[in-house]
Structure 1
Amino acid sequence: MISTELDAAGVREPLLRQAYRQCRTLNAQHGKTFFLATRLLAPCQRPAVHALYGFARSADDILDDVESPYTVEQRADQLQQLSTRLFTSLVEKQPTDDPVLTAVVDTARKYDIGWDLFDDFLASMRMDLTVTEYPDRPALERYMYGSAEVIGLQLLPVLGTVGPREEAAPHAAALGKAFQLTNFIRDVDEDLGRGRVYLPADELAEHGVDRDLLQWCHANRRTDDRVRAALAEQHAITRAVYDQARPGIAALAPSSRACVAAALTLYSEILDRIEAIDFQIFGRRATVGKRRRVAVAAVGLGKAWANRLRYGSV
């Protein structure tokens, strides 16, 4: 299967093929829902998506490897080294022996993905080293631009559009933000374990919630009523961001619509699960079951094949 995808994408050089294979493995192992959605793309699109995922995963591993012995300063240095190696290879066109960077640089050149998007992403990753909470939504929005919105903007050239890319860009950015906001709500408990809170402090405070109360919920594995009200508000805000993103599906190339629609459906259903358990997110993780994921993927696969037959795609 991977050889078919690489052939369809025009990747011929053996070392480059191996680099893309490694990125695909990372995606399959660590991004199961995302990987399932990529199966709905045309084969020629998949290697590039795996490469972008692999790069994001490389940065994330520096930040969140709980067994890592490295200090904050050492992790900052590792991120800077990653940034320097990427810049040297992508902008100065010097080869790298890092397979993930090899693949993502090839993808960036092929699809004209700007260096600035990678730079903004890494800037937000650096914030995670020292910033553990956000006073208000503008502060959180600044973080999310680099950590989530630019992911949608990086993917957009790979997905393709039926009109000017700049018209689809706000929707792509909103979808990246919606996915991350969903994670922020679902993972409050897990993030507290890492010393982080990704919900605006002033909006929590309106419901009488602060870090101490969240820590109490974390320690006691129960959701205080004040926290439930605050989470319900964040839930509604996230729903509205999905509404901003959804019209962008029609702006995508037909070969990409089923994939993005499936991803949007599955991720937004995490919000359904959170609501269904009455925001009892401490000590449990709201997930979409495997049967439902497969069902959504099956519907998407049918639509993907219909679009390929109608519009033509490798």
Structure 2
Amino acid sequence: MEPSSPVLAAYSYCEAVTGLQARNFAYGIRLLPADKRRAMSALYAFSRRVDDIGDGELAPDAKLARLEQTREVLALVRAGEVTEDDTDPVAVALGHAATVFPIPLEGLDELIDGVLADVRGEEYETWDDLKVYCRCVAGAIGRLSLGVFGTVPGARDAGRAPEYADTLGLALQLTNILRDVREDADNGRTYLPAEDLAKFGCSAGFHGPVPPAGSDFAGLVHFEVRRARALFAEGFRLLPMLDRRSGACVAAMAGIYHRLLGRIAADPGAILRGRVSLPGREKAYVAVRGLTGYDARQTARGRRP
């Protein structure tokens, strides 16, 4: 049944937020049918709100308070206490989406936990430590999205679908961390594991276009790229479990980041000189390939898209 006019208006707001602020994400979800596209936009808009608090200009104590207020809104959504005439369109849309799809909303609590770690300035000694953070801010999004996508009846190993969705989220997040290493350093943040930085002589950090003196920066980048590629290879096992359009959506979003990872591997120093990205025409190309099923078949076999 088509949502009511107030709910459709709330979804339209979320879709506008997604279109303006999530170019890579938007390339993928435009491949979905309307009900799934709306639900994914609601998830994105709520997640964007959480991220914006963490990245904003408020003092740390104010950020912590705002994040806890956002958690309270999420609790109301989970309890079904947000009505369609509520003044918060993101809460209205998310609440409706949760009645249509089996979305594990606790994943959004994990996202809040991850952003709280950012606000507190937590750093990570080992990859195992960083994985906990990545699962909060990205793996959880993969599991939330799977609640919208669902799996096809009779899919082999469908019980492992949440695991693969989580792992694919880790792959995307590690790619993000590599891409943003200079920007994060300028903002006083370090995400790469301290033991990895020490191994390659990069403990001094990244505050300019030139790697730390005497470091093996390229070696560090290639080490992390191999880790990310292994995560992609594992996470892409999710694709055959999804219907055609959901699989196309995932193949498009993940394929964009997979290609981005390839660019970083080809020129590690580029991430210190500026923001590495794909042109719009290449993103569109990946999306079209995903819709035809080509990228889904290739990536599910562990091949580079």
TM-score normalised by L of structure 2: 0.88
State the one-letter code of the partner of 2:75: F
Quote the residue 2:188 is aligned against: 195
Contact 2:104/2:143 (<8 A) preserved = no
Find the counterpart in structure 2 of residue 49 from structure 1.
Answer: 40
Deviates more, 1:103-112 or 1:31-40: 103-112
- The answer on 1:299 being equivalent to 2:289 is yes
Q: CA deviation at 1:15?
A: 1.6
Q: Secondary structure at the match of 2:268?
A: coil
Which of 12, 20, 39 pairs up with 1:21?
12
Q: CA deviation at 1:297?
A: 2.1
Q: Is the counterpart of residue 266 in structure 1 residue 256 in structure 2?
A: yes
Pairwise CA distance, 1:11: 4.0
Q: Note the residue ranges of structure 2 that are not aligned, 5 or more in a row.
A: 295-305
Q: Could you tell me how far apart the structure 2 residues matched to 1:272 and 1:102 are?
A: 39
Are 1:169 and 2:162 matched, yes or no? yes
1:61 and 2:52 are equivalent in the alignment: yes
Over 3 Å counting, the alpha-carbon distance change for 1:272 and 1:75 in structure 2 is: same
Distance 1:288 1:74 in 2: 35
- CA displacement, residues 159-207 of structure 1 (integer Å, 9 cap, x when unaligned): 1202375321111111111111100001001111221111110121111
- The count of aligned residue pairs is 287
Q: Matches of 1:300 and 1:247 in 2, distance apart?
A: 15
Separation in 1, partners of 2:268, 2:193: 21
2:126 aligns to what? Answer: 136
Q: Does 1:288 align with 2:281?
A: no
Q: How many percent identity over aligned positions?
A: 30
1:223 touches 1:280 (CA, 8 Å); kept in 2? no
Q: 1:180 aligns with which of 173, 176, 183?
A: 173
Q: In structure 2, give the amino acid aligned to 1:233.
A: F
Amino acid in structure 2 at the alignment position of 1:41: L
CA contact (8 A) 2:104 2:147 kept: no
* RMSD of aligned alpha carbons: 1.8
Query: Could you give the per-residue CA deviations for residues 264-297 of structure 1, whole angstroms, max 9, x where no partner exists?
Result: 2211000111122233311311111222112222
TM superposition shift of 1:22:
0.9
Give TM-score scaled by structure 1 length: 0.86
Q: Which moved more, 1:124-133 or 1:112-121?
A: 112-121
**How many angstroms does 1:44 deviate by?**
2.6
What amino acid is the match of 2:110? D
Distance (Å, rounded) in 2 between the aligned partners of 1:120 and 1:165: 23
In the alignment, what sits opposite 1:223?
A: 211
CA offsets 1:230-255 (integer angstroms, 9 cap, x no match): 12111110011001111110011233
Q: Deviations over 1:139-163 (max 9, x none)?
A: 1111111111110100102112023
SS at match of 1:191: helix
Match of 2:76 among 70, 85, 88: 88
Partners of 1:38 and 1:46 within 8 A in 2: yes
- Are residue 73 (structure 1) and residue 61 (structure 2) matched? yes
Maintained 8 Å contact 1:51/1:104: yes
